Structure 1
Amino acid sequence: MAASAPAFPQGPVASRGGLTGRRRRNLIAGYAFLIPNLLGVLAFSLFPIATTIYLTFHEWNLSDTPVFNGLQNFVLMAGDSLFWKTLGNTFYYTFVAVPVAVFLAFWLALLLDRKMRGVLSFRVIYFLPHVTLTVAASIIWAWIFQAEFGLINWALSKINVDGPYWLTDSRWAMISIIIMSNWKGIGYAMLIFLAGLQGIPPELLDAATVDGANGWRKLRHVKVPLLTPTIFFILTTSFIGAFQAFDQFMIMTNGGPAFATTPLVLYIYRNGFAYFKMGYATSMAAILFLCILAITLFQWSVARRWVYGFDMDN
């Protein structure tokens, strides 16, 4: 009598479409979690981008139907002196505030990257401004910079020094906003630098000590090269954020005096929501985006020359 083959349990029967019931349920569950995210991307990213491209070539006052005007918005922009002034203000603020903030945050992180009593408290103190709302910080600093009753000019008066009109003098207004912005943003960059410093393998520092390197040579030849990815990250994100700064300009000076502290973002806001020139405002927003994109791409293009490990990751 021939031996019968052992019976194996049958797997789930595939449906007509080739999917088992269990797999179909898994797909439905996956799409249920995925679709809300896709709808969010569509609503808050893709749709605004498409609308921006559309309005760039139209004239629209929020009430009437948008009217196609070709490149007229860009022609108006080329002859708009306020556009060029606000664009210049944006570049001035960005290329002064960001390098100063990164430099100070780096050295502050070096000072706090050591074992000593109370160092954790200092880290918290320096980071606290970052979690403060920009609106609240701007209101506080507007009072500090107040010419007649402000804290700074009061302190200067105690040593018989006449303080300047910080927020109403075009020579000092932008500097005042840069000081406030760096006070608020330096803590975040410091924390990122601290994380980078603490991620440096101690064996490398010990080897440098054995080779007779002093503190300065360790910093120059070990710490800074290994921190270049961190520096690159902070520079890239800081430049992007500085180009979009808005709250502190709106609250501290409202763009004055004489448009000395009006960044392009504030000018875009006024054209769009005060003058109802949505097409023109959108065109300026497109130029702002291109400026940010150009600077970001430039940073990436030169990163392989100085960022440690950049070629290996890309």
Structure 2
Amino acid sequence: MRGRRGREAAAGLLFAAPAVAVFAVFMFWPLIRVVWLSFQQTRGFGIAKWVGLGNYQDILADTVFWRALLNTALYTAVSVPLCLVAGLAAALLLNRAMPGRGLFRAVFYLPAVISGVSSAIIAAWMFNEDLGVVNKVLEPLGLGPVHWQSEGMPAMLSLVAVGLWIGLGFNMVVYLAALQGIPRHVYEAARCDGASWWQTLRSITIPSLGPTTFFLVVIGVINSFQVFDIVYVMTGGGPGNATTMLVTYAYSTGFEQRQQGYASAIGVVLYLIVLAMTLLQWRVNKRRDVA
């Protein structure tokens, strides 16, 4: 038995080795490298200067960093709940038998398949202040033109709208899979007891989707704090720093200003923030399940 278990363990390690190697090369080692660079002052070339916690001390006094953190938190606080509600609404609608259901599912999911840069290019054309489709639709309604690129709040709203457009399809598919896993007899029993649609949704559907919602919240928060492509293409962080996010600020600091040590420190802070928020959500969800 001991020899058999040893062979099984060796086979398991052999099968896991490629995935572990990829993780180590492309995830674990870069993370260690970023942490190491965050304690240095370097432009990527030449001899680096060891500054210890100097980069982190500079972050505390960096007003642009705090503005980027506030923008990222605001984007996350608005986009994640909207994606959850819109994804659930689309899943509830398309979970029913209706004409063209497969086509509508594909249309909703299409933005999740297209690359973020392509979606951002399409959105930048749609939200163009002079020639965009959005302003052309709003003007006859007396709501436009809106200065999507030259004013801070409209620029942020355009990013939230595009984030919702891209994230809705993924949330819809995950919610659809979860809805189809809820036993039908539970709904039948509720209907026999005279429960309305709203009562069924509140007392059966939403509680049954609790683990799925928790998963989507964690994924949504992580993705929102890492948003880059749509910001870089649509607004570039402007006007001013109104839409500068932590990732775009780290990118511009590291690759445009060539302060790679400072950019690495920003990346480490971002990593710790996302890790802390994920652990907090996990603990809250664990307490809810125990209760």
After TM superposition, the score normalised by the length of structure 1 is 0.86
2:131: which partner in 1?
A: 149
Alignment length (residue pairs): 288
2:100: which partner in 1?
A: 118
Alignment of 1:23-172 (within 5 A): 34-159=16-141, 161-172=143-154
Tell me if the contact between 1:168 and 1:253 (Cα under 8 Å) persists in the aligned partners: no
Q: Structure 1 residues 270, 231: closer, same or farther in 2, change over 3 A?
A: same
Gaps of 5+ in 2: none
| Larger relative helix fraction | 2
2:185: which partner in 1?
A: 203
User: 1:258-299 CA deviation, whole Å, 9 max, x = no partner?
Assistant: 010110100101111111111111111111011101111111
Q: Percent identity?
A: 36
RMSD between superposed Cα atoms in Å: 2.2
Distance 1:53 1:229 in 2: 33
1:184: which partner in 2?
A: 166
Distance 1:172 1:178 in 2: 10
Alignment of 1:272-287 (within 5 A): 272-287=254-269
Gaps of 5+ in 1: 1-17
Amino acid at match of 1:122: F
- Given the alignment, which residue of 202, 222, 240 partners 1:258? 240
Amino acid at match of 1:300: W
Distance 1:112 1:77 in 2: 47
Moved more, 36-45 or 222-231: 36-45
Distance 2:287 2:194 in 1: 28
Distance 1:288 1:58 in 2: 18
Distance 2:3 2:201 in 1: 60
After TM superposition, the score normalised by the length of structure 2 is 0.92
1:233: which partner in 2?
A: 215
Distance 1:38 1:150 in 2: 47
Q: Which has the larger radius of gyration?
A: 1
Q: How far has the Cα of 1:156 moved from its partner?
A: 2.5
Q: Structure 1 residues 187, 30: closer, same or farther in 2, change over 3 A?
A: closer
User: 1:18-68 CA deviation, whole Å, 9 max, x = no partner?
Assistant: 989xx99x96x8776554433322211221121122112111111122221
Q: Structure 1 residues 38, 295: closer, same or farther in 2, change over 3 A?
A: closer
Distance 2:15 2:287 in 1: 42
